[in-house]
Amino acid sequence: MKSRRFEWAAPDRLVGEIREYLSHEDRTVDVSGIAAEVAERGDAALLELTAKFDAPEAESVSLRVGQNEALAALEALDPEVRSALETAIANVRQVAEAQLGPDEKDVKLPQGHTVIVGEVPVAAAGIYAPGGRASYPSTVVMGCVTARVAGVDRVVLVAPPRPDGRIDPATLAAAALCAVDEIYAVGGAQAIFALARGTETIRPVDVIAGPGNAWVQAAKREVFGEVAIDSLAGPSDLTVVVDSKTNLRWAALDLCAQAEHGEESPLVAIATEPGVIERLEVEVDAVASASPTVKDCKLALVEAPSAVEAIALVNLVAPEHLELMSADSVALARAVRTAGCVFTGQEAGTAFGDYIAGSNHVLPTDGTGRIFGPLSPATFRRATARVSLNAESVRALAGPLESLARAEGLPVHGLSANRRAKDLDQDEE
Return left, alpha or beta for 72; rule: phi > 0 is left, psi -120 to 50 is alpha, else beta: alpha
Span of 32-46, 107-121, 265-279, 308-322 with lowest mean pLDDT: 107-121
20 among known catalytic residues? no
Integer Cα distance of 162 and 147 in angstroms? 26
382, 83, 27, 46: which is closest to 188 by C-alpha?
A: 46
114-121 and 104-108 beta bridge pairing? antiparallel
Cis omega (within 30 of 0) on the bond before 235? Answer: yes
Domains in the chain (CATH in brackets) are 2-27+235-372 (3.40.50.1980), 32-100+122-231 (3.40.50.1980), 389-428 (no CATH)
Q: What is the pLDDT of residue 102?
A: 64
Does the pLDDT at position 332 exceed 70? yes
Residue of 320, 323, 361, 402 marked active site? 320
Span of 108-112, 275-279, 312-316 with lowest mean pLDDT: 108-112
Does the pLDDT at position 134 exceed 90? no
Instruction: Measure the N-to-C terminal CA separation of the chain; round to a whole number of Å.
Output: 85
Q: Span 224-239, mean pLDDT?
A: 89
Q: What is the pLDDT of residue 26?
A: 58
Residue of 321, 323, 361, 402 marked active site? 321
CA distance to 212, 242, 413, per residue, from 423 (Å): 58, 71, 16
Q: What is the pLDDT of residue 133?
A: 65
Integer Cα distance of 360 and 376 in angstroms? 7
Would you tell me the crossing angle of helices 248-259 and 276-289 to the nearest 10 degrees? 50
One DSSP character per residue, 214-231 reads HHHHHHHHHHBTTBEE--
pLDDT digits (tens, 9 = 90+) for 67-104: 999 999 999 999 999 999 999 999 999 989 988 876 78
Size of the chain in residues: 429
413 among known catalytic residues? no
pLDDT digits (tens, 9 = 90+) for 42-52: 999 999 999 99
Q: What is the pLDDT of residue 8?
A: 95
Does the pLDDT at position 355 exceed 80? yes
Integer Cα distance of 15 and 318 in angstroms? 10
